[in-house]
Amino acid sequence: MQRQAAGTSEGGALGWERREKAWFKDNTWVLPVLVGAILLLLVFLLWIMLHAGDHARLKLIIKAESERIAAVIDGDLRMRIPALQRMARRWDAEGGSTRIAWEADARSYLADMPGFQSLAWVGPSGRVRWIMPASAPPPPMLPDGQQHPDRRESTAGPVIPLGDHGHGFAIYLPLNAHGRADGFIVAVVQADAWLNDVLMHSDEINLDRDYGLSIRFGGQALFSVGHVSGDPLVATWRQRNHLELLNRRLVVTVWPTARFFARTHSEQAEVALIGGLGLVLLAVYMVFLYQRASYALLRGAAMNASLKAEISERHRVEAALRDSESQSRAVFEAVLDSIVTIDMEGHILSANPAAQAMFGYPQSEMLGSNVSMLMPAPQAGEHDGYIRGYLDTGERKIIGIGREVEGQRRDGRAFPLALSISEMRVSGERRFVGVMRDITARRRAEEEIRHMATHDPLTDLPTARLANDRLEQAIAEARRTRKLMAVMFLDLDGFKPVNDTYGHVIGDEVLKQVATRLSEGLREVDTVARIGGDEFLIVAGALDGREGAERIARKVADLLHPPLFTGNGEPMYVGCSLGVALYPQDGDAPETLINQADRAMYRIKHSTKDGYAFAEPEGKDGDPGAAVRL
């Protein structure tokens, strides 16, 4: 009986051992497959995040370039159209013009603003009276419904073919001298010549290499660079900007070329994916080996040889784990984005080299410190409250939401960064991972675009648009303080011979030196703007009477009297004709004051030159003898 009981007990033990071995044998792959699935998911999520980040980065670059191109075109239009309108206003103010004076003005406009095919005066009957150049074909007429002799608004016509010169359009400016309809000034624009001059000569714009461009005018194709039809890059990456030109809309479409992607594409996502897959395979293999080693440990009949093999196997597993950790650390340290992990109390647990470089702290100072050290006030004092609120309520104010915030470097300088925070659990404890990217360069590009929209690209002076805003502010200040302010319209004398003799390069250098002398020589409160080829506008506030305006006018003449020296070493002499309008006696609106100053300038330019004249009362013909010669 005892022998039978012992046999039964022994058989039961053997049966249990066989069942245990069978269970481990059948389930050896369960844990490796589970671990592999989780790691594959994490690698895929990392790939998606990096790929989306690269996609967003390229989108921002393309958007910034699109806005830069649109700003350059818009800035040129804001100089070109007002210049033509001033030509029409002079006609209206003077009651007409002589052919010699009109052709001289037209010749100057054609020389200063490349892209015009012709400028013409078309009478009320539709007959071309004068045209420059004389060899140019007659301009197109407006449709019958729009070509009314009493029309008051400037108009842009539809896209028209120009033969060998591609396509273009015409601008119609009505002439109404003292209420008399005198027809139109018609300016024909060659789109290819205009846009090639504006865009193709810019060192900052890489059209036909990095970007393609399409411009539609009033719903019709006007200009294009690069292939449009069937190009998948156009539909996926294109950026549109809408500009207004009188009564029509310009739609500027920009898209990247294959060369752009070859130059800017980041392979970070692909490298992370390939490296991650390798790590997954290695981890699965390590877990499988660990399972096998654990299974070997449970076998009670293993002999010394088996024990040595098991120890050797464990050594291999540990070495593989160390290799895996090293590879994971290498990926963590090689990522270009800054990555910081913190615990529930906000203490920094890890920071990759990109984070250390971005904030300027060594790892020894960051680890264990509160993450608020990387934030400026008041965000630094609010951060711990955000974490406590999230842990208490689960309300996601910052977790899982990408946003733009301010960071603070070790030297105290604040800088903008893009931040995304996610949550994870490690050994049952909650951790937070912050992925950050310095967006200082992007912010700087946005500021440059805003600056280009309001400043002349040649002289860096304010454009007519910004000058008009400054003028409105000066009028409001003068109205509040009951002081005088002045608007001065300046036209350079002798600039056209310099430009014709020495070329546009020397002419541009002269304009830049004139701009420097005016902006540095006048008061800080004064605004100097370039509004045309050789035309400038000065807004001077807080004057102590008419004498204050005269002092500034003489100061302008003194600034331009010394010779200008350019790259060729020869002295250049230019003078100026200056028209002055005062607030409030000459008008209380920006447009009125500018028109009055323009008329006064035109009067001095056609009488004495190199002088200044104050605006005359409405309806009074200016007396050339009242002008002051400098």
Rounded distance between C-alpha atoms, residue 413 and residue 509, angstroms: 38
CA dihedral 129, 131, 135, 140 (to 10 degrees): -80
519-543 pLDDT, tens digit each: 999 999 999 999 989 999 999 999 9
- Helix, strand, coil percentages in the chain from 3-state DSSP, rounded to 5: 50, 25, 25
Residues whose CB is less than 8 angstroms from the CB of residue 73 and which lie 6 or more positions away in sequence, other chains included: 195, 198, 199, 215, 243, 250, 252
3-state DSSP call for residue 303? coil
Question: Is 90 exceeded by the pLDDT of residue 179?
Answer: no
Q: Contact, 612 vs 624, CB < 8 A?
A: no
Quick one: which of 142, 197, 198 has its CA closest to 172? 142
Q: Contact, 456 vs 462, CB < 8 A?
A: yes
Highest mean pLDDT range out of 37-51, 214-228, 303-317, 578-592?
578-592
Same-fold call for 59-261 versus 338-438? yes
Question: Is 60 exceeded by the pLDDT of residue 14?
Answer: no
CATH topology of domain 455-629: Alpha-Beta Plaits (3.30.70)
3-state DSSP call for residue 553? helix
Residues whose CB is less than 8 angstroms from the CB of residue 562 and which lie 6 or more positions away in sequence, other chains included: none
Indicate if the alpha-carbon torsion angle 611, 616, 621, 625 is positive or negative.
negative
pLDDT (mean) for 145-162: 75
Q: Give the up-direction half-sphere exposure of residue 385: CA atoms within 13 A in the CB hemisphere.
A: 5
| pLDDT at residue 601 in the model | 94
Look up residue 171 and give its amino acid.
I
Quick one: which of 396, 410, 395, 324 has its CA closest to 360? 410
Q: In the structure, what pLDDT confidence band is assigned to residue 165 with cuts at 50, 70 and 90?
A: confident
Q: In the structure, what pLDDT confidence band is assigned to residue 625 with cuts at 50, 70 and 90?
A: very low
Look up residue 113 and give its amino acid.
M
Rounded distance between C-alpha atoms, residue 560 and residue 563, angstroms: 8
Look up residue 184 and give its amino acid.
F
The number of helices, as runs of H, and strands, as runs of E, in the chain is 17, 23
CA dihedral 64, 65, 70, 73 (to 10 degrees): 140
Residues whose CB is less than 8 angstroms from the CB of residue 259 and which lie 6 or more positions away in sequence, other chains included: 209, 210
Quick one: which of 511, 542, 513 has its CA closest to 527? 542
Class of domain 338-438: alpha beta
Look up residue 74 and give its amino acid.
D
Task: Report which DSSP code applies to 460.
Answer: -
Q: Contact, 421 vs 398, CB < 8 A?
A: yes
Name the burial class of residue 544, with classes exposed (0-12), middle (13-18) and buried (19+) by CB atoms within 10 angstroms of its CB. Answer: exposed
231-269 pLDDT, tens digit each: 666 678 889 999 998 889 999 999 888 888 888 877 777
pLDDT (mean) for 417-432: 86
Residue, of 210 and 341, whose pLDDT is higher:
341
Cis bond before residue 584 (omega within 30° of 0): yes
Rounded distance between C-alpha atoms, residue 403 and residue 233, angstroms: 28
CATH topology of domain 59-261: Beta-Lactamase (3.30.450)
| pLDDT at residue 47 in the model | 77
Q: In the structure, what pLDDT confidence band is assigned to residue 303 with cuts at 50, 70 and 90?
A: low
Structure tokens at 78: 């804001």
Q: CA geometry: angle at 200 spanning 194 and 204, to 5°?
A: 130
Domain spans, the chain: 59-261, 338-438, 455-629
Question: Whole-model pTM?
Answer: 0.58
Q: In what order do the strands lie in the sheet with 338-342?
A: 348-351, 338-342, 429-438, 414-426, 403-408
Question: Is 70 exceeded by the pLDDT of residue 159?
Answer: yes
Give whole-number Cα distances, 137 to 41, 189, 601, in Å. 69, 13, 33
Q: Where are the beta strands (DSSP E) in 72-219?
A: 116-122, 128-132, 155-156, 160-161, 167-177, 180-190, 211-217
